[in-house]
Every structure is written in structure tokens, then in C-alpha cells.
Amino acid sequence: MTSFKTIRARAEKRKGGPKALARLLPPKPDPKALAKLGDDRILAEMTRRAFSAGFAWSVIEAKWPGFETAFLGFKPGPLTLQPDDFWDALMKDTRIVRNGAKIMSVRANAGFVRDIAREHGSFGKFLAKWPSSDETGLLELLSKRGSRLGGNTGQMMLRFLGWDGFVTSRDVVLCLRDAGLDIAETVTSKRDLAKVQAQFNAWAEETGLPFVQISRICAMSIGENYTADKLASMLGADD
């Protein structure tokens, strides 16, 4: 496998030097801040990512105040107590995107968040204690116990919540394959995810960098060379 030092040097050259690259990196995630996140904010981010999957993010963002109101501020307790009529009415609510399957995922995920909070004190505390070296295990749990949180949706949810992990985007996978990792062009299998995890673990040990920065550097070392403004407009989705 290619040393991460080589990958970083390539990213620095593409972005205008070490200082320019450093300015494009996300801050190191703060587990204490994550642990303090309210369960309502966790459920809100789950919902935002689930609705954004396969849809224009700009539309979801424009409607987001309506989502907050329609879903009662995403408080898991009150949502789990709502009758079927409440959820049926949301299917016709123009304040949100009226996708039945995704609306019902909020109901399921409210129960999921509530259950994890009961087990660990809060969902944020649960995430803060989960090691970055086992993102694959966390993604599997999200997929099995949550609703519509599999694949890249779960990865992006974790990223936006501030959990320290990788994202198997197109450019990250391209970087990994170019470095010599034998994985498919689209990472979906447990086998390939395990390989990605092992490589990120090795690079984290090599560099001492948080996973989120390794992921971003990897993405910026290859593929289309986006400008800083374009990267900012992509809301962190470049990797």
C-alpha cells in the first residue's frame, strides 16, 4: 500500500501547498461536544440525511424549518407517542418532502434514539464512546437498529454530527484503489468495508491524524480538483 505521506504530498501539490491544504481540513472532532448533543438533534440529523439521500440537498435545506415544526422539534419521546393519524397527516404536509417511506423512518428512528438513550444515557454519549477504529461495527448497528441509515447515509450522518470517521465517497474509494487496496469501485460489501476500515486504521496509526482529516486528504489527493469555494459549497460532501 502507498504510504499516506505520499498521498498527502499529492494533495498538498494539488491544493497549493501544506498551508493551503491545512485550511481545507475539518477540525478535529470533539467527543465531549458530541456527548452533549441532545437526542432531538441526533434524530434531526438522521432525518436530514435520510431525506437528502437521492434528493437535492438544497430542497431539503430550504424546507428544513418546516421539518422542525412538522416533526415536533424531533423530540423522540413525544414522537413515539403520536398515533397513526399524526403520521398519516404528514403524508399530505406541504411543509416537508412527502415521501411516505422516509416519513415513517422518522417514527422508527425516534424509537431507536430513545432506546439507545435509555441504554447509554443519551445517543450522543453512545456515539462519543464508540471507537473510530470500528466504524464498520457502528454502521452495521445503525443499519440494523435504525431505519434508512445504511450505506453512505449513515456515514454522512456521523460526519455531520461530528463523529470521527471516514466516508466511502467516489474520490475516497478512488484514492484507496489507487493506493493498492483491492476493493470495488462502489463499496457496499462487508468485506470491502472491512478492508477500508483496516487501511484507515493503519493510516491513523501512521499519521496520528483523525479519521475525518485522513478521509478529506485522501479525497483531495485525486479525482476532480475542486476549488476551495466549491468544497465549501458541497457542505463536506467532497469526501
Asked if residue 211 and residue 126 are part of one domain, the reply reads no
Asked whether residue 237 carries a pLDDT value surpassing 60, the answer given is: no
Name the pLDDT band for 227 (thresholds 50, 70, 90).
Answer: confident
Asked if residue 151 and residue 36 are part of one domain, the reply reads yes
For residues 32-40, average pLDDT: 98
Q: What number of other Cβ atoms are within 10 A of residue 201's Cβ?
A: 16
In the chain, the number of structural domains is 2
For residues 148-172, average pLDDT: 97
Asked if residue 55 and residue 141 are part of one domain, the reply reads yes
Asked if residue 226 and residue 190 are part of one domain, the reply reads yes
Asked whether residue 138 carries a pLDDT value surpassing 50, the answer given is: yes
Angstrom distance (rounded) from CA 65 to CA 60: 10
Q: Cell 448533543 maps to which residue?
A: 37
For residues 34-54, average pLDDT: 97
Q: Cell 461495527 maps to which residue?
A: 137
Angstrom distance (rounded) from CA 44 to CA 46: 5
Asked if residue 189 and residue 97 are part of one domain, the reply reads no
Q: For 4-17, how does the pLDDT look when each residue is reduced to its tens digit (9 = 90+)?
A: 999 999 999 999 99
Asked if residue 64 and residue 150 are part of one domain, the reply reads yes
HSE of 125, CA atoms in CB hemisphere, 13 A: 9
Asked if residue 157 and residue 41 are part of one domain, the reply reads yes
Which of 132, 161, 190 is the endpoint of a domain? Answer: 161
Domain residues for the domain of 137 are: 32-161
For residues 66-73, average pLDDT: 98
Judge whether 72 and 79 are in contact, CB under 8 Å: yes
Angstrom distance (rounded) from CA 138 to CA 154: 9
Angstrom distance (rounded) from CA 186 to CA 222: 16
Q: What is the DSSP string of 127-155?
A: HHHS-GGGHHHHHHHHHHHSSS--HHHHH
Asked if residue 85 and residue 21 are part of one domain, the reply reads no
Q: Which of 61-65, 75-79, 210-214, 232-236 has the lowest mean pLDDT?
A: 232-236
Q: What number of other Cβ atoms are within 10 A of residue 121's Cβ?
A: 12
pLDDT at 235: 46
Which of 101, 136, 161 is the endpoint of a domain? Answer: 161
Mean pLDDT computed over every residue of the chain: 95
Asked if residue 179 and residue 79 are part of one domain, the reply reads no
Share of the chain above pLDDT 70, in %: 95
Asked if residue 180 and residue 111 are part of one domain, the reply reads no
Q: What number of other Cβ atoms are within 10 A of residue 129's Cβ?
A: 12
Asked if residue 52 and residue 99 are part of one domain, the reply reads yes
pLDDT at 234: 60
Q: What number of other Cβ atoms are within 10 A of residue 220's Cβ?
A: 26
Asked if residue 19 and residue 95 are part of one domain, the reply reads no
Angstrom distance (rounded) from CA 195 to CA 203: 12
Which of 161, 188, 222 is the endpoint of a domain? Answer: 161
**By C-alpha distance, which of 130, 184, 194 is closest to 158?**
130
* pTM metric for this prediction: 0.93
Interhelix angle 57-70/39-52, nearest 10 degrees: 140
